[in-house]
Structure 1
């Protein structure tokens, strides 16, 4: 099978990888300031965040957008 999404920056990356990398880069406090959702601001964990983000498309879109912006800024350095 050929790669059907060569221009999709999220292709091949799991939501767990996204949350883990964002938490490692920003930390929970800063992540909660950047995206004000309860799973980042009150007793945050990767597991609780994944549970919420999988059920909440608008929040997942914000997290994915932040991940893309973060990756773009990291690669520009």
Structure 2
């Protein structure tokens, strides 16, 4: 491999992180009520579960984008890059 070759996902903090881990980590940090407050989607409001949230987020890109942004803002903001 060429030394100057950079991985295509080098600037993507979510690379290698599964959606299930994202939802689980956010739920543990904020709880369902806190998640519903931060991302206004019904899967966090009405009888929430990891399974139902994953099902919805895998089908609904705009909602997944909001959840991923919250994850990055929560766990990666103001942290030095390891790259």
Report if TM-score (shorter chain) is over 0.5: yes
Identify unmatched segments of 5+ residues in structure 2.
Answer: none
Q: What's the CA shift string for 1:19-62, capped at 9, x where partnerless?
A: 00000000000100111100000000000000000000000000
2:66 matched residue in structure 1: 62
What TM-score, normalized by structure 2, do the two folds share?
A: 0.83
Is 1:17 matched with 2:25? no
Task: Considering fraction of residues, name the structure with more helix.
Answer: 1
- 1:6 deviates by 1.4
Structure 1 gaps, min length 5: none
Coordinate RMSD, CA, aligned: 2.0
Alpha-carbon distance, 1:73 to partner = 4.6
The structure with the largest alpha-carbon Rg is 2
